[in-house]
Amino acid sequence: MRCINKHSINIHYLLVSFLLFATCLILSGCSEREVRMPFKIDSSETAFSFETSNENNTALPFATNLAVPEGDVMPGEEIGDGADSYGSAILVDSANANMMYSKNSLATLYPASMTKVMTAIVAVKNASPDQVFTADDSCVFTEGDVQKVGLKSGDTMTMDQALHLLLIYSANDVAQLIAVNIAGSTEAFSDMMNSEAAALGATNTHFVNPHGLQDENHYTTAYDMYLMFNEAVKYEEIVQVISSPNYSTVYKHSDGSEASFSCDNTNRFLKGTAQAPGNINVVGGKTGTTLAAGGCLVMLSKDSGGNDYISCVMKGKTIDVTYGKTSSMLSLIK
């Protein structure tokens, strides 16, 4: 009786399989068509983009067109604890995915009303401009020091009106209005915000509300703000809103009567009370200020050639420090 070596058979099968696989690769060729998918924090495929098809597609890194921090850029500059201190800062040349400036860009800090950048992203992705939103009791903010329009239960306005008041005036009650009308509750909307942030690679971010009022479990980083704002400015309606120096509108009360509201943009560069370098055009952005968060500002600017730059400063000792730091970073653009 002949003895069969199972180990030899296994090697034979492996060799045959390898030759078949190599033949398929040679015959099929490669395609350079770019394909993408959102970042998924719990996926084994987070580093690359794949798509199932009859072609072999080139796998591209998730951050192909994104600037990636590799430590501090200009590390010799100290943040300090004095009157001119800040928590973190970042400047990115968007066209070239170039990190021009980074200081503590991965530090976890409170975003204050910069939160509304993500609120706006979720809003434009899940509601039409003419969709009517109705305020409930959760939209009534009575605190005197909270930025608000003064909504009452039963008040109505369109999503387009809400988006303007959210980003230009930074109205916290309008942020809540957007949340409850899109998701039904603050918690459900926050889940949508967190899912969107994770899909963009903003994995050091966690939201618990749509407005950014202080909560220790509500945080982000300057780098994550860059990722989220970079997504936001892909939407033409958001860019149009943040570039508006002022806004006036009329919304309705529950009895059908009208309420008018006018406001200026909270961005000092658009109001003319802060000056950018002469070769820079500030398009717009989102401010944020609380006692815990300090002065915050994320912004889109363009150079004389029309190239885009995204800047972010967090936890400025004062709002003056925040604008000063932003201007000094923009001066790096030649």
Which active-site residues does the annotation give?
113, 116, 170
Residue 69 to residue 60: CA distance in whole angstroms:
19
Q: Which two tokens stand for residue 271?
A: 């109001």
Tell me if residue 21 falls in helix, strand or coil.
helix
Residue 196 to residue 211: CA distance in whole angstroms:
16
Amino acid identity of residue 249, one-letter, is T
Torsion of CA 198, 199, 202, 206, to 10 degrees: -30
Residue 130 to residue 320: CA distance in whole angstroms:
37
Cα angle at 185 between 181 and 187, to 5 degrees?
Answer: 135
Tell me if residue 100 falls in helix, strand or coil.
strand
Alpha carbon distances (Å) from 333 to 52, 191, 327: 42, 37, 10
Residue 251 to residue 91: CA distance in whole angstroms:
38
Kindly give the pairing relationship between strand 88-93 and strand 308-316.
antiparallel
Q: 């980083």: which residue's tokens?
A: 221
CB neighbourhood size of 259 (10 A): 15
Please give the full DSSP string across 136-205, using - where no structure is assigned: -GGG----TTS------TT-EEEHHHHHHHHHTS--HHHHHHHHHHHHSSHHHHHHHHHHHHHHTT-TT-
Residue 184 to residue 36: CA distance in whole angstroms:
31
